[in-house]
Amino acid sequence: MPEKAAQKEPGKKPVPSKKPKPQQEVVVQIPLSELHPFPDHPFKVRDDEAMQETAESIRQYGVLVPAIVRPREDGGYEIIAGHRRRHGSVLAGLSAMPCIVRQMDDDTATILMVDSNIQRENILPSERAQAYKMKLEAIRRKAGRPAKTEEKADENNSPQVAANFRADDTVAKDAGISGDTVRRYIRLTELSPELQQMVDEKKIGMTPAVEISYLKPEEQQMLLTAIDSEQATPSLSQAQRMKKLSRDGKLNDDTMLDI
């Protein structure tokens, strides 16, 4: 005897799956003239040998990895990841490049911008410092915490104090480095542009630079004058003496030259 076919209950609809369908991002060609740099983008785009190689690759194969952008209030798009690809496209003579458009708030965009660039080679200390600071402040804002600068108060890099800096540790973990290393880099943002450049050019070491960062702006200017006069940059022990004299209110032109 043949089996009876299974019957559906009248009026009963199949239960739809509750799993959300993944949103597929679309790659679109956007004119280069509509692509604008991220505000205060910390990573410089240089016309060096690597850029020439990028431009040549784009000439031959096009832009293989789409940029990530977001709409701007003033029109056009803001580049989150892809500043070098855009410049390479300009050098290659292209008029547009492939992009993925995403809607995101300022802090999310900042974090993605930093994460998309921070692992590149040949990043200058000043660029890394500014990038870590921008990401740190974005993480704090997203967590609903004020963008305090506790790292300024941590003059002795106390492990007990450092343990409380959850945002610093998040930045460090994402970068694969220690929290203290992140805090030392962020200290470089307290240096004058001239002193930051000396760090980038390896005229001043990272450790002395951190100590010098605690000097007041006018004291840093005094130091620049002394460097120009003596044609020498401070060692770690000299930088530590300057920091102590500054803290005691005794750092002036004469004591600077004595050091």
Distance CA 224, CA 228 (A): 6
**35-36 and 77-81 as β-strands: parallel, antiparallel, unpaired?**
parallel
What is the mean predicted confidence (pLDDT) over 110-126? 92
DSSP helix/strand/coil, 28? strand
- The pTM of this model reads 0.79
pLDDT bracket for residue 31 (50, 70, 90): very high
What is the mean predicted confidence (pLDDT) over 197-221? 97
Residue 164: its pLDDT value, please? 42
What is the mean predicted confidence (pLDDT) over 180-209? 97
C-alpha 217, offset from chain centre: 24
Distance CA 206, CA 210 (A): 6
Furthest-apart CA pair in the chain: how many Å? 112
Tokens of 15: 């239960």
Q: What is the pLDDT of residues 135-159, one digit of tens each?
A: 999 999 988 755 444 444 444 444 4
Tokens of 206: 């990272």
Residue 144: its pLDDT value, please? 78
Q: What is the pLDDT of residues 100-113, one digit of tens each?
A: 999 999 999 999 99
Task: Kindly state the DSSP code that residue 52 receives in the 8-state scheme.
Answer: H
- Within 8 A by CB and 6+ apart from 79, the residues are 35, 36, 37, 38, 67, 68, 69, 86
What is the mean predicted confidence (pLDDT) over 249-258? 88
Residue 159: its pLDDT value, please? 42
Nearest to 70 by CA among 43, 39, 49, 93: 39
Distance CA 235, CA 241 (A): 10
Residue 143: its pLDDT value, please? 82
Radius of gyration in angstroms for the set of CA atoms belonging to the chain, rounded to a whole number = 26
Q: Which residues are registered as beta bridge partners of 29?
A: 98
If one compares 70 and 17, the residue with the highest pLDDT of the two is 70
Q: Which helix (H) or strand (E) holds 84?
A: helix 83-91
- Residue 35 phi, psi (nearest 5): -100, 120
Mean pLDDT of the chain: 86
Residue 254: its pLDDT value, please? 87
Contact yes or no for 97/89 (Cβ under 8 A): yes
Contact yes or no for 244/215 (Cβ under 8 A): no
* pLDDT exceeds cutoff 80 at 3: no
| Percent of the residues in the chain that have a pLDDT greater than 70, as a whole number | 83
Distance CA 97, CA 106 (A): 23
pLDDT bracket for residue 190 (50, 70, 90): very high
pLDDT bracket for residue 22 (50, 70, 90): low
Residue 256: its pLDDT value, please? 87
